[in-house]
């Protein structure tokens, strides 16, 4: 038992990975067991992450040295508050998406690909978890690359013209991005001779004055590399195609989880490697601030003109990523807490919305937002959840989105920059402008003689949507505990 | 900055040139296979950067041998080991990209990007 | 490629290629090289076989490399679990500088070699045939 406690951070990675590769063999003759096997794997990871989070809440920071090689040389796994939060989020959302995909998947991707699809799912999930909990920069690069490949595979699994083309563009840009990231890591290694984050930080403080330009170059390389992957505004061009042409479970994973983990890694590199004061002094912060503001406005405007529901949701992701970057580049405590909170709440909202889009497609085959009239009465549960998520996107009080908007406003006041409150209000109005027509169509355009009936989708597809909607409402009404936890996480970066 | 310092660090300059060439190749070439070649050129530049960072002048391959004298210089093996991982990653990216290009060729009958954009 | 000279020459050269590949794999800890490089050589040799003699190999045989690759990944994952690549934790260690002196690392190198060879072959099949 003691041994298991020590190994716990490692098994959370290795068990889903093992399940994924065993599945690849299994899928050849027993295809119908696959979903349950993978469900067991992810459920295990979820349980372990709950246990780890409990330990972290108790005030412990968990270190694990892979293969008992000590830090300057070996790979170190570190689970602090941020990592524990991300683990819980990743595993919980993946579990729900998997429950959704058991019944819906065979309608969206070819029959012989389902087994391999689950393998890719687990590979992506594992690499995301690894990216969150690793404390070693080269390991981070490998995990980034594996996540990129797995995510590309999840998009291409649909096997259509559009998704194949979108995948190629995604793959090219993702590879370019990870090349930039690796070059940045190379600079850091060249200067400091270490790859472990605390050691780099300790060395960097000593040599920072000697290499002023190198710091700039490194920061730019890492910003561009992770910015491409997390779809910072002008680098987002791959995102709408890839996210909208993928099968709905993949869209939910990509939009809700994959783009976030890059932001978390970026945050770690900025605050733990370069240090908070360097981040605060350089102009890189203002660049990200500008790009994030552009993303919020531009993404919303682009989303406004899309008629395909999933494309509209994908552009909305671009705008919401802008919120996260805005909060994190404000560089104040409230701003970063709001950014981290928005990572959670946006994951809930986007997973809910994309799964609802998948359920709508499953029952009616409709994709255009102009064809949704009367849907509120034919699929009441799905549309109710959709409405909750849409209200939260706009930022109505009592829903999760309001809390992050409030936090961002507090952050911009704290940063002596109240203009961003205007930006947040405008973007809320824009969100309303492209989400409310869908809700309006669904409930109020069908005339009087409509019968109320229950959704005709399997129950396993409804449960995740409902749970996500309840999660949004919960975060809107009782955000206290989460905020406290996130403040503890942020207080590790900010002095 | 005098020229001799630049000459001393020539592997880094070559690696940065290779990196820029690769990026340019990915972004400007219309032929998809050439884009994949661009990826490989870019990653080769990065590998060269790391390997050059690990090199120590006059060092030998870091393999322990009791016959060698104690005070001999070994080069830093860590970047080489890291780049082995990098090569594997780049290999798998290349294989995946080629597989997608084969698929695209089946759909569109061409691997010329503007034609594909026109046909969709 | 139905060329008489290629076939005859290849019969003799394949053995040399495979021998060199295994040499690199097994001497990975004594000289530059190791599992990845040696596996690449072995894989290329086998790939040459299929290029020259055509694809008449049995369908079951074609799936074999993928199976081998998957199983090796799984076994490797288990082996990596604890005490990763520390020779003395896994078994006896001989004189430094001799062939059998690193315990588990030889086994791991051998596994990596087979894994790389079969991965190359399976990627080649998948690209050529398009279907799995």
Cα(B21)–Cα(A354) distance, integer angstroms: 39
C66 Cα to chain B: minimum distance (Å): 15
Strand A62-65 relative to strand A76-79, pairing: antiparallel
Cα(A278)–Cα(A284) distance, integer angstroms: 10
pLDDT at C85: 53
What the block records as the tokens of A429 is: 């109005």
Angle, alpha carbons C10-C15-C17 (nearest 5°): 85
User: C-alpha A61: how far from its chain's center?
Assistant: 23
Question: φ and ψ at A395, to 5 degrees?
Answer: 100, 35
CB B45 within 8 A of CB B58: no
pLDDT at A27: 73
Which residue, among B60, B61, B62, B63, would best test binding to C if mutated, counting the most C CBs under 10 Å from its CB?
A: B63
Residue range A159-173: mean pLDDT, rounded: 88
Cα(A134)–Cα(A308) distance, integer angstroms: 38
Cα(A154)–Cα(A36) distance, integer angstroms: 19
Cα(A350)–Cα(A256) distance, integer angstroms: 5
Inter-chain CB proximity B53 and A189 less than 8 Å: yes
pLDDT at C97: 66
Give percent above pLDDT 70 in chain A.
Answer: 98
pLDDT at C63: 67
Q: Which residue has the tokens 């190379």?
A: A186
Instruction: Give the residue ranges of DSSP H helices in B9-112.
Output: 10-28, 32-54, 77-108
Instruction: State the average pLDDT for chain A.
Output: 86
Is residue A66 pLDDT above 80, yes or no?
A: no
B85 Cα to chain A: minimum distance (Å): 8
Other Cβ atoms closer than 10 A to A437: 15
CB A15 within 8 A of CB A39: no
Cα–Cα distance list, B34 to A172, A237, C120 (Å): 12, 21, 21
Q: Which residue has the tokens 């660049």?
A: A287
pLDDT at C92: 61
pLDDT at C132: 47
Cα–Cα distance list, A321 to A472, B95, C19 (Å): 18, 31, 54
Inter-chain CB proximity A14 and C71 less than 8 Å: no
pLDDT band, residue B1 (cuts 50/70/90) = low
Give percent above pLDDT 90 in chain A.
Answer: 15
Which residue, among C65, C67, C70, C87, would best test binding to A if mutated, counting the most A CBs under 10 Å from its CB?
A: C70
**Chain C 45-84, CB below 8 Å of chain A: which residues?**
67, 70-71, 73-74, 77-78, 80-84
pLDDT at A181: 92
pLDDT at A332: 85
CB C35 within 8 A of CB C108: yes
pLDDT tens digit string along A407-446? Answer: 889 888 888 888 888 988 898 898 898 888 888 888 887 7
CB C25 within 8 A of CB C31: no
The SS3 call for residue A136 is: strand
Which residue, among B35, B38, B50, would best test binding to A if mutated, counting the most A CBs under 10 Å from its CB?
A: B50
pLDDT at B17: 92
Q: Which residue has the tokens 């076994």?
A: C75
CB C35 within 8 A of CB C28: yes
Task: Check CB contact of C98 with chain B, cutoff 8 Å.
Answer: no
Residue range A173-184: mean pLDDT, rounded: 91
Task: Check CB contact of A17 with chain B, cutoff 8 Å.
Answer: no
pLDDT band, residue B44 (cuts 50/70/90) = very high
Choice between A192 and B61, residue whose per-residue pLDDT is larger: A192
CB A45 within 8 A of CB A15: yes
Is residue C58 pLDDT above 60, yes or no?
A: no
Q: How many CB pairs under 8 A join A and C?
A: 33
Q: Which residue has the tokens 């809390």?
A: A403
The SS3 call for residue A134 is: strand
pLDDT at A157: 86
Residue range C43-52: mean pLDDT, rounded: 84
Residue range A57-61: mean pLDDT, rounded: 86
Cα(B98)–Cα(A441) distance, integer angstroms: 44
Which residue, among B14, B96, B116, would best test binding to A if mutated, counting the most A CBs under 10 Å from its CB?
A: B96
Cβ-based neighbours of A459, under 8 Å, separated by 6 or more: none
Note the maximum CA span of chain A: 76
Residues A277-309: b if buried by 16+ CB within 10 A, e if exposed: ebbeeeebbebbbebbbebbbbbbebbeebeeb
What the block records as the tokens of A288 is: 């990200």
Cα(C82)–Cα(C70) distance, integer angstroms: 21
The SS3 call for residue C3 is: coil
pLDDT tens digit string along C79-105? Answer: 655 555 555 555 566 666 677 776 667
Inter-chain CB proximity A176 and B53 less than 8 Å: no
pLDDT tens digit string along A249-283? Answer: 889 999 889 999 999 999 888 888 888 888 877 78
Q: Which of A302-306, A373-377, B111-115 has the lowest average pLDDT?
A: A373-377
Residue range A15-41: mean pLDDT, rounded: 80
Cβ-based neighbours of A444, under 8 Å, separated by 6 or more: none
CB C6 within 8 A of CB C52: yes
**Chain C 86-115, CB below 8 Å of chain A: which residues?**
86
Residues C12-31: b if buried by 16+ CB within 10 A, e if exposed: eeeeebbeebbebbbbbbbe
Cα(C111)–Cα(B113) distance, integer angstroms: 40
**Chain B 62-101, CB below 8 Å of chain C: which residues?**
63-67, 84, 87-88, 95, 98-99
Domains within chain B, CATH numbers bracketed: 3-56+76-119 (1.10.287.3510)
pLDDT band, residue C77 (cuts 50/70/90) = low
Cα(C19)–Cα(C26) distance, integer angstroms: 10
pLDDT band, residue A91 (cuts 50/70/90) = very high
CB B14 within 8 A of CB B48: yes
Question: φ and ψ at A136, to 5 degrees?
Answer: -130, 130
Is residue A402 pLDDT above 60, yes or no?
A: yes
User: C-alpha A472: how far from its chain's center?
Assistant: 16
Inter-chain CB proximity A18 and C77 less than 8 Å: yes
What the block records as the tokens of A239 is: 């995102």
Task: Report chain B residues whose CB lies below 8 A from the CB of A200.
Answer: none
pLDDT at C4: 84
Cα–Cα distance list, A15 to A129, A442, B85 (Å): 12, 43, 22
What the block records as the tokens of A13 is: 């990675």
Other Cβ atoms closer than 10 A to B72: 10
Is residue B40 pLDDT above 90, yes or no?
A: yes
pLDDT tens digit string along B69-95? Answer: 777 888 888 888 888 888 888 988 999
Inter-chain CB proximity B66 and C97 less than 8 Å: yes
Cα(A101)–Cα(A118) distance, integer angstroms: 10
Closest Cβ–Cβ partner in A17, A24, A67 for C84: A67
CB A335 within 8 A of CB A276: no
Range with top average pLDDT, A129-138, C55-64, C107-116, C117-126: A129-138
Looking at the structure of chain C, the number of domains it has is 1
Domain extent at residue C122: 4-129
Task: Check CB contact of B41 with chain A, cutoff 8 Å.
Answer: no
């Amino acid at each position: 038992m003691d041994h298991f406690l020590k190994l716990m951070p490692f098994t959370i990675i290795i068990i889903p990975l093992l399940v994924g590769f065993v599945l690849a063999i299994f899928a050849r003759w027993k295809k119908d067991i696959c979903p349950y096997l993978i469900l067991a794997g992810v459920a295990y990871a979820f349980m372990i992450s709950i246990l780890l989070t409990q330990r972290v809440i108790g005030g412990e920071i968990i270190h694990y040295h892979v293969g008992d090689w000590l830090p300057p040389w070996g790979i170190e796994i570190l689970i602090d508050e941020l990592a524990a939060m991300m683990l819980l989020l990743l595993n919980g959302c993946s579990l729900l998406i998997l429950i959704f995909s058991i019944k819906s998947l065979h309608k969206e991707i070819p029959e012989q690909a389902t087994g391999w699809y689950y393998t890719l799912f687990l590979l992506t999930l594992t690499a995301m978890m690894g990216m969150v909990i690793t404390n070693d920069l080269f390991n981070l690069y490998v995990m980034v690359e594996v996540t990129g490949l797995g995510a590309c595979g999840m998009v291409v699994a649909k096997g259509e013209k559009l998704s194949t083309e979108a995948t190629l563009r995604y793959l090219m840009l993702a590879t370019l991005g990870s090349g930039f990231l690796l070059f940045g890591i190379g600079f850091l290694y060249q200067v400091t001779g270490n790859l472990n984050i605390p050691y780099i930080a300790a060395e960097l403080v000593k040599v920072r004055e000697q290499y002023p330009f190198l710091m700039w170059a490194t920061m730019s390389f890492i910003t561009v590399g992770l910015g491409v992957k997390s779809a910072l505004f002008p680098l987002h061009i791959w995102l709408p195609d890839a996210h909208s042409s993928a099968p709905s479970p993949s869209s939910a994973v990509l939009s809700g989880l994959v783009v976030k983990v890059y932001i978390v890694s970026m945050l770690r590199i900025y605050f733990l490697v370069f240090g908070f004061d360097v981040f605060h002094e350089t102009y890189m912060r203002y660049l990200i601030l500008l790009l994030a503001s552009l993303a919020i406005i531009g993404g919303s405007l682009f989303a406004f003109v899309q008629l395909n529901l999933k494309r509209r949701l994908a552009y909305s992701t671009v705008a919401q990523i802008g919120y996260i970057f805005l909060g994190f580049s404000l560089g104040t405590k409230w701003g970063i807490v709001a950014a981290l909170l928005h990572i959670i709440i946006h994951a809930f909202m986007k997973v809910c919305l994309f799964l609802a889009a998948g359920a709508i497609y499953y029952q009616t085959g409709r994709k255009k937002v102009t064809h949704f009239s009367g849907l509120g009465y034919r699929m009441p549960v799905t549309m109710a959840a959709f409405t909750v998520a849409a209200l939260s996107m706009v930022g109505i009080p009592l829903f999760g989105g309001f809390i992050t908007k409030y936090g961002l406003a507090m952050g911009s006041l704290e940063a002596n920059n109240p203009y961003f409150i205007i930006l947040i209000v405008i973007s809320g109005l824009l969100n309303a402008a492209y989400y409310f027509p869908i809700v309006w169509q669904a409930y109020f355009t069908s005339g009087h003689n409509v019968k109320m009936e229950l959704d005709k989708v399997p129950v396993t597809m409804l449960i995740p949507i409902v749970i996500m909607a309840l999660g949004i409402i919960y975060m809107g009404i009782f955000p206290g505990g989460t905020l406290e936890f996130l403040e503890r996480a942020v207080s590790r970066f900010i002095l | 900055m005098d020229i001799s310092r630049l000459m001393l660090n020539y592997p880094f300059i070559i690696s940065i040139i290779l990196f820029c060439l690769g990026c340019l190749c990915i972004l400007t070439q219309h032929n998809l296979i050439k884009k994949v070649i661009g990826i490989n050129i870019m990653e080769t530049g990065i590998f060269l950067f790391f390997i050059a960072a690990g090199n120590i002048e006059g060092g030998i391959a870091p393999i322990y041998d009791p016959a060698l004298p104690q005070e001999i210089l070994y080069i830093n093996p860590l970047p080489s080991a890291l780049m082995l991982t990098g090569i594997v990653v780049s290999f798998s990216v290349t294989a995946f990209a080629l597989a997608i290009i084969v698929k695209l060729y089946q759909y569109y009958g061409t691997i010329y990007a503007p034609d594909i954009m026109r046909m969709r | 490629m139905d060329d008489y000279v290629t076939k005859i020459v290849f019969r003799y050269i394949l053995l040399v290629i495979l021998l060199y590949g295994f040499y690199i794999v097994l001497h990975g800890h004594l000289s530059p090289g190791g599992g990845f490089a040696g596996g690449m050589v072995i894989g290329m040799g086998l790939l040459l076989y299929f290029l020259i003699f055509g694809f008449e190999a049995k369908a079951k045989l074609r799936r074999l490399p993928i199976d081998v690759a998957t199983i090796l990944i799984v076994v490797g994952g288990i082996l990596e679990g604890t005490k990763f690549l520390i020779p003395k934790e896994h078994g006896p260690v001989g004189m430094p500088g001799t062939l059998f002196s690193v315990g588990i690392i030889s086994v791991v190198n051998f596994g990596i070699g087979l894994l790389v060879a079969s991965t190359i072959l399976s990627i080649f099949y998948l690209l050529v045939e398009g279907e799995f």
